[in-house]
Amino acid sequence: MTITGERNKIDSLIRSYTLMARMNRARPGARQSQTLYYQMLAEYYTRVRNAHEEGKLVAAHTVFFPTEILYAMDIVPLHTETTTWLIALFLREQTELLIKGAELGLAPEICSPHRGVAGIFGLNAIPRPDIILWSNLICDNTAKSGELIMELNHSPGFFLDNPFQGSAGEMNYLVDELKDMVHFLEEKSGRKMDWKKLSEIITRTDQEIELYREICELRKAIPSPMSILGYLELISADYLFPGQPEAIQYLTVLRDELKDMVKHGRGAVSPERFRLMTLFLPPLHLIGYLGTLFAELGAVSVVEPFFTRWSEGKLDPDRPLESVAKKSFLIPERRSMYGPLSQQALQDIADGAEQYKIDGAIYWAFMGCRHTCATIRVVKEVLSEIDVPMLTLDCDIMDPTVNSEEEIRNKLEQFFEMLEDR
């Protein structure tokens, strides 16, 4: 497909989400939270599209970057990896991005969302960002992506160095890094940090994290009330809307919907035959197919310890930068995917298996993610000790040439047959 203008992908995403929201409102029995989710996505990319016309700066950033600071300064965030995921999921146009990434020299072994990010900017498929922000959370792919995006866009950038541990000294180091970043953003944008607004955002971020915890508790119910489609919604709500009123609204409505389902004994699938733990990300371009397949086979993902189980802790709006730093140590992904794999992270997997009464686990072995694939054996051993079978399924979260629907169906059916025979 030929790109006809720099806003091609953004306009296409906005049209897709607007249509999905409209269809969801008209569908009997549809979740109100899902309609809100599509509306949120449409508004997010509308802000990106209109930013330059409105005299605002666009800051492209990698995953787990503290965008609370951008929202407080009225700088428009653009999440690079999530944008590539959503193009794959809703537009099915990821192939051209991956091809362009290959033309730019990125090898197939590199994480496909980052190859897609290179493709997006290499094709000028979205508005050019004014600022590039990136960090070493969660991996070396992320740490190098920012440099490439800077080179492709000729935009200034800032690298945020995250320490591995949460000692007092390392926390202070991260706060100093954040202060340097605020000064950088003030200099490049001509805007001063609104500390009152940041404190308000931190208050809402803390509310969001508590809502995530409540939702996770509700998913322990038998039958479990949330389908695998909700998994992606939860991830992107935090990635794109931390501390934003629309995220509070979405999560509150979702929590209340799940609470009502639990009260009346309704599950996401009926009958519920297989309760699963999901480890890492399934192929995101096939998430709709997986939702249909799981419903057909009576399977439901009830817990995702790498992505949806937040660590305990509260944020303090009176100490906003310290709270931004602290949040980065609470995210599920950091506990299980950044730095040494601790005994605490392994215990969390074992505890989750027992608390959610899972029948089996699926480890989606994303070939472009070296550090998570390195944990497959040790995770399998932990689950084996409590007699929980684990299926390891090689995949790519964006590349459609790696997995077919038929292949995934066959492997899942075989796994479920084994679970049924136990």
Question: Which among 99, 1, 45 has a CA at the least distance from the CA of 401?
Answer: 99
Residue 338 has pLDDT above 80, yes or no: no
Q: CA separation (Å) from 130 to 61, 139, 188?
A: 11, 24, 9
pLDDT at residue 4 in the model = 45
Radius of gyration, alpha carbons of the chain: 21
pLDDT at residue 389 in the model = 98
Q: Is residue 62 part of a domain?
A: yes
- Distant-in-sequence, close-in-space partners of 7: CB < 8 Å, separation ≥ 6: 49, 126, 127
Q: Is residue 352 part of a domain?
A: yes
Do 201 and 64 share a structural domain?
no
- Quickly list DSSP for 241-268: -TT-HHHHHHHHHHHHHHHHHHHTT--S
Residue 210 has pLDDT above 70, yes or no: yes
Do 318 and 279 share a structural domain?
yes
Do 408 and 273 share a structural domain?
yes
Q: How many domains does the chain have?
A: 2
Q: Is residue 1 part of a domain?
A: no
Mean pLDDT computed over every residue of the chain: 93
pLDDT tens figures, 262-311: 999 999 999 999 999 999 999 988 999 999 999 999 999 999 998 999 98
Do 209 and 183 share a structural domain?
no
- pLDDT band (50, 70, 90) for residue 95: very high
Looking at 193, 210, 235, which one is the last position of a domain? 193
pLDDT tens figures, 388-416: 999 999 999 999 889 899 999 999 999 99
Domain interval for residue 22: 8-193
Do 138 and 13 share a structural domain?
yes
Whole-angstrom distance, CA of residue 392 vs CA of residue 88: 23
Do 357 and 233 share a structural domain?
yes
Angle CA(110)–CA(361)–CA(308) in degrees, nearest 5?
70
Q: For position 80, which CATH number holds? A: 3.40.50.11890
Residue 155 has pLDDT above 60, yes or no: yes
pLDDT at residue 337 in the model = 75
Looking at 177, 193, 209, which one is the last position of a domain? 193
Do 84 and 18 share a structural domain?
yes
pLDDT at residue 6 in the model = 46
Q: Is residue 27 part of a domain?
A: yes
Q: Is residue 34 part of a domain?
A: yes
pLDDT tens figures, 173-196: 999 999 999 999 999 999 999 999
Looking at 193, 222, 252, which one is the last position of a domain? 193
Do 261 and 128 share a structural domain?
no
Q: Is residue 3 part of a domain?
A: no
Specify the range with the lowest mean pLDDT, choosing from 33-37, 203-207, 273-277, 332-336: 332-336
Do 377 and 246 share a structural domain?
yes
- What the block records as the tokens of 166 is 């949460």
Residue 140 has pLDDT above 90, yes or no: no
How many helical (H) and strand (E) elements, i.e. helices and strands, does the chain have? 18, 8
Question: Which among 17, 141, 133 has a CA at the least distance from the CA of 77?
Answer: 133
Q: Is residue 120 part of a domain?
A: yes
Do 151 and 41 share a structural domain?
yes
pLDDT at residue 411 in the model = 97
Q: Is residue 2 part of a domain?
A: no
Do 361 and 230 share a structural domain?
yes
Cβ–Cβ < 8 Å for 129, 60: yes
Whole-angstrom distance, CA of residue 127 vs CA of residue 388: 47
> Model pTM?
0.94
Do 224 and 187 share a structural domain?
no
Q: For position 240, which CATH number holds? A: 3.40.50.11900
- What the block records as the tokens of 339 is 């730095």
Cβ–Cβ < 8 Å for 361, 326: no
Cβ–Cβ < 8 Å for 391, 363: yes
